[in-house]
Amino acid sequence: MSNQEPQIITNKQEMRNWSRNIRSQGKTIGFVPTMGYLHQGHLSLIKQAQKHTQHIVVSIYVNPGQFSQTEDLSTYPSDILGDIEKLKSFGGVDVVFSPRNLYDYGESEKGVVKNSEKDGKIVSFLEGEGVKHETWIRVETLEKGMCGMSRPVFFRGVATIVAKLFNIVEPDVAIFGKKDYQQWRVIQRMVRDLDFGVKVIGSELMRDEDGLAMSSRNVHLSPQEREQALSISRSLFEAKLAAKNGKSICSELRRSVIESIEAAGGKIDYVEIVDQESLESVEQIKSGVVICVAAWFGKVRLIDNIEIDVS
């Protein structure tokens, strides 16, 4: 693990050359893909990667492909200069990979998004390579439910860009946060199905002291909305306790979570209780389930989950 300041790489071939040089020395590479605006949750992913590999690459790339036409890419929080400073202070990161372009959308609505670096805020990195890209990766079953219902292009965009990042960085291990539970499982399945030589590890969800799941989007919550949003984690912990105490009917637990969040002023996108691996809905609490929530507070969509393992 290096103690030097991270090298900043923006070119895809330069990144690939760096990785191949490291691997030629018999050393291993850990990879933490991010969309920037780093917080303690992201840093916990880096710590996890350091346990498994000798060198660490962190990518910062705001991926237009996972935003629908109704979602405003330009409002996604970004501070790449601040992110780099955080990584310098944190230490142990060898490379920050911040590519300029990973997918050319041609003349589509995303193709007109331009690169913006004013005041350190980078919204998108579309430079165009002359020929529109048209290949997408779908993980057909796992992407359908939960976030896939309200964000139908999200996992297509995630899987495709993560596959490209894996092909460029060529890591041995990649770390994904369990806060994005469905995303983590989608990437695991993609890696298995397409025989990527990458071990995908899920890192435990990180919470602020008040219980709110750490997210770059939390910055958009007003003080009142943040206080209301605590109903998500509170209801999840209450449901887990109820399950541990023998309450096993999922519909009842689900209803209690929904009522708690709505009573606090939240608007439910979904509350689902599913198997941790297949993400299929379950009717009775068993070992290896997870309660997943997405809810709106004001204009901010928050996701959270809690795993339940009962004997």
* Percent of the chain scoring above 70 in pLDDT: 90
Q: How far apart are CA 250 and CA 267, in angstroms?
A: 20
Instruction: Look up the pTM and report it.
Output: 0.90
Q: Which residues are catalytic?
A: 42
Q: Please, what is the angle between helix 154-169 and helix 181-193, to 10°?
A: 60
pLDDT digits (tens, 9 = 90+) for 252-293: 999 999 999 999 999 999 999 999 999 999 999 988 999 999
pLDDT digits (tens, 9 = 90+) for 9-56: 999 999 999 999 999 999 999 999 999 999 999 999 999 999 999 999
Q: How far apart are CA 59 and CA 62, in angstroms?
A: 10
Q: Could you please report the per-residue DSSP string of 25-68?
A: TT--EEEEEE-S---HHHHHHHHHHHTT-SEEEEEE---GGG--
Every domain of the chain and the residues it spans: 7-203, 216-304
Backbone angles phi, psi at 114, to 5 degrees: -105, 165
DSSP class of residue 201 equals E
What pLDDT was estimated at residue 64? 86
Mean pLDDT of the chain: 90
Could you say which of 3.40.1520.20, 3.30.1300.10, 3.40.50.920, 3.40.1360.10 is the CATH number of the domain covering 216-304?
3.30.1300.10
pLDDT higher than threshold 70 for residue 66: yes
Q: How is domain 7-203 classified at the architecture level of CATH?
A: 3-Layer(aba) Sandwich (3.40)
